Structure formats: structure tokens, C-alpha cells
Amino acid sequence: MDTVGLIDAGGANLGSVRYALERIGVQVQLVRGPEELAAVPRVILPGVGAAAEGMARLHAQGLVEPLRQLDKPLLGICLGMQLLYEHCEEGDVDALGVLPGTVRRLRPATGIRVPHMGWNKLLALRESPLLDNIPAGASAYFVHSYAAPLSSHTVAVAHHGGLFTAIVQRDHFCGAQFHPERSAAAGEQLLRNFLAMDFS
């Protein structure tokens, strides 16, 4: 059975992500410090809540520098993906900085509510193993008020008052703005794809 380290960054989705992984036959090891991080072959950083609180918890656990220097596959989910970027507008906080750019608040407009909650289509911009066996135009479930900009590392986008990065990959650092654990078949496939990817 595959093992993945699940970072306990205080997110409310920790239990649901763990259940989604166990449902597809993955053994989950909770990570709350550098020693546990070093002991697992792959890492998932889930998160729900505020960026400043998430970074404060990672600092308190001694995980910020080990994550910045990580040489193994990592998947950030929702806030966990946002924390991979250089800076988060929410709380005006410096994040992990393994991806370039600033995460900014979504702009409300006529018919565009913030937070963005609900199902939205994914539009692929480039090839990535993260998208294997996910049909074109598949939908995923989002709950967020902030979003990452488009860059050369953007794999797929979604649209809510404008385009934002929905899936990102830079080498072994990956992220999903949506919640795979709540995104039915497409979300399960994304988790399977991350677990199967060869980053050597």
C-alpha cells in the first residue's frame, strides 16, 4: 500500500482528505514536524481558512524551511496550494515561495459572488500527468475567496469573474485550488494521478 504524509496545518478538510486517500487504498501518515515529513515519500498539504494562520502553524511546527527545501512530491489543496506561492494578499503574509506570484482576492461583480462556492469547469492549458484520465471540461468543487494568478506553471484554469489557476505544477510541487476530496470522479482521479507520478 502506498503511503502519503498528510500535513496537519489545522485545516478543517484534514479528515475528509484523509478519508478520500484511504478510500483509494492509500496509507496516511499525519505530519506535524520535520521528522515525520522526512519519513514519508509523498506529501499533501491541505488547508481551509486564512493564509496567515496557516503559515503561523507551519512556522510553529518547524515545517516552513523543510517544505521550501523539499525534494519529494508535494500536492497543496485549496489554501495548501495558495501557501506554495511567494505571497498571499490575505493577511499580507509571505508564504512558502516555491511558486512565483501573489495570491489575490477574487473580484466580486454582477453575478459573481465571493467567496466562490460550487462546481466549476476545468480548462487545461498544458499537458501534465495530473490531468491523466480526467475528461476535458470536467468539473471540480471550489470554496475560496482568493486565487493564484496564471503563470507558465499553470496546468488548468477555472473562471469566476476572470481566469485563475485551478491546477499548478512546478517540478515536484503541485497544487489544486479545488477540493479533490469533494470533486467526485475528477477529484479522485487527480489524487490517483499525483500518487502515480514519477518525478525522477
Query: Does the pLDDT of residue 1 top 70, yes or no?
Result: no
Residues in the chain: 200
pLDDT in tens, 67-96: 999 999 999 999 999 999 999 999 999 999
* Active-site residue list: 78, 179, 181
Q: Which among 17, 12, 45, 19 has a CA at the least distance from the CA of 31?
A: 45
Q: In what order do the strands lie in the sheet with 93-94?
A: 93-94, 85-88, 99-105, 146-147
Identify the pLDDT of residue 61.
95
Confidence label for 12 from pLDDT (cuts 50, 70 and 90):
low
State the chain's mean pLDDT as an integer. Answer: 94
The rounded distance, in Å, linking the Cα atoms of 178 and 157 is 11
pLDDT in tens, 178-193: 999 999 999 999 999 9
Angle ∠(70,126,81) on CA atoms, nearest 5: 35
Query: Does the pLDDT of residue 33 top 60, yes or no?
Result: yes
- Which residues are CB-contacts of 1 (< 8 A; sequence separation ≥ 6)? 25, 26, 27
76 neighbors 175 (Cβ within 8 angstroms): yes
Confidence label for 41 from pLDDT (cuts 50, 70 and 90):
very high
Domains of the chain are 3-196 (3.40.50.880)
What is the model's pTM? 0.96
In the chain, the percentage of residues whose pLDDT exceeds 90 is 88
**DSSP helix/strand/coil, 80:** helix
In the chain, the percentage of residues whose pLDDT exceeds 70 is 98
The rounded distance, in Å, linking the Cα atoms of 196 and 93 is 33
Dihedral angle over CA of 72, 78, 79, 83, nearest 10: 40
Mean pLDDT of 28-42: 96
